[in-house]
Amino acid sequence: MTGRDARLVYLIGPSGAGKDTVLRWLSSHQPQALRLHVARRTITRPAGDAHESHEAVTPAEFVRLLRTGAFALHWEANGLRYGIRREELLALDGGSSVIINGSRAALYEARRRYPELFVVQITAGIELLRQRLLMRGREQPEVIESRLSRTALLPMVSVDAVIHNEGTPQQAAMDLIALLGP
């Protein structure tokens, strides 16, 4: 890490666990003393998704960015491609922590590239995940059930902390702040 107290934080968790919601709450309510940058993802998903402010690109644009070395990290999940641009990590140099909404699929590579990575899993019970995914309205019920089935079969990964997000976004964000605080 280059900044004095800066941390590179990597969030993982199943779809519906509330990662985007927690990050959105944190972005708009974070304490002044907590120097934090939430990395904006580049995704091959159209703009206008109310759940996440992201840079929308076409699959061809994503490949072009990948070939030019624009991404510090990238992965594929759920039929989409995701990337974290290198400039999103520059806040570390200024002493701010950076949070990446990542993926288990890219965790091994993220740890290889950034050994100091602090991995936080956000999770919730299966019924709550189902409710949240249905409310989100992005996928048909059979796709949601397929995702939930895959979630149950995913291998356990080594994490530094776990947040059970079964209350309000504020509660989960405060748990994350407690992990990142001095």
pLDDT of residue 50: 53
- What is the model's pLDDT at position 49? 58
d(CA 26, CA 179): 13
Residues 96-136: tens digit of each pLDDT: 999 999 998 889 999 999 999 999 999 888 899 888 888 88
Write the pLDDT tens digit of every residue in 4-16: 578 999 999 988 8
pLDDT of residue 69: 97
What fold characterizes domain 8-39+94-180? Rossmann fold (3.40.50)
N residues, the chain: 182
**Structural tokens at position 39:** 């990395």
Distances (CA, A) of 147 to 15, 16, 134, 144: 8, 10, 12, 5
pLDDT at 3: 45
Q: What is the pTM of this model?
A: 0.84
